[in-house]
């Protein structure tokens, strides 16, 4: 693959992940798990946790691909997906989107 094909492939996967974010209502998922935690609904917590784990795996795979690509092709400016990962905030005891800068 040439650099253009690699970049296009990454951007296509980036676009698909963003579409999944909207189609799967990932923002709602964060709210749902926090509500389930506050009401001690263990069954829902487990369901939402599994969905978050699956989502984070997809985000992590694409972010790993990005890191590998920009390691080899430092001149490429590919958007990061790390802010789409969902993390548990131990200070506030809630799930939220990762806001840590790369």
Q: What is the pTM of this model?
A: 0.89
Domain count, the chain: 1
**Do 44 and 36 meet the contact criterion of CB atoms below 8 Å apart?**
yes
**Do 48 and 32 meet the contact criterion of CB atoms below 8 Å apart?**
yes
Q: Which domain holds residue 65?
A: 3-97
| Paired tokens of 7 | 């970049």
pLDDT digits (tens, 9 = 90+) for 70-92: 999 999 999 999 999 999 999 99
Reading phi first (left if > 0) and then psi (alpha if -120 to 50, else beta), residue 35 is in alpha
Q: Is residue 33 situated within a structural domain?
A: yes
pLDDT digits (tens, 9 = 90+) for 8-56: 999 999 999 999 999 999 999 999 999 999 999 999 999 999 999 999 9
Q: Is residue 102 situated within a structural domain?
A: no
Q: Is residue 22 situated within a structural domain?
A: yes
- The rounded distance, in Å, linking the Cα atoms of 83 and 66 is 14
Q: Is residue 84 situated within a structural domain?
A: yes
């Amino acid at each position: 693959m040439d650099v253009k094909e690699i970049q296009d492939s990454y951007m296509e996967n980036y676009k698909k992940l963003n579409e999944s974010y909207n189609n799967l209502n990932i923002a709602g998922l964060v709210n749902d798990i926090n509500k389930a935690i506050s009401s001690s609904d263990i069954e829902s917590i487990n369901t939402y946790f599994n969905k978050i784990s699956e989502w984070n795996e997809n985000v992590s795979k694409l972010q790993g691909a990005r890191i590998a690509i920009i390691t080899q092709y430092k001149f490429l400016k590919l958007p990061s997906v790390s802010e789409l990962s969902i993390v548990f905030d131990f200070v506030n005891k809630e799930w939220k989107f990762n806001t840590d800068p790369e």
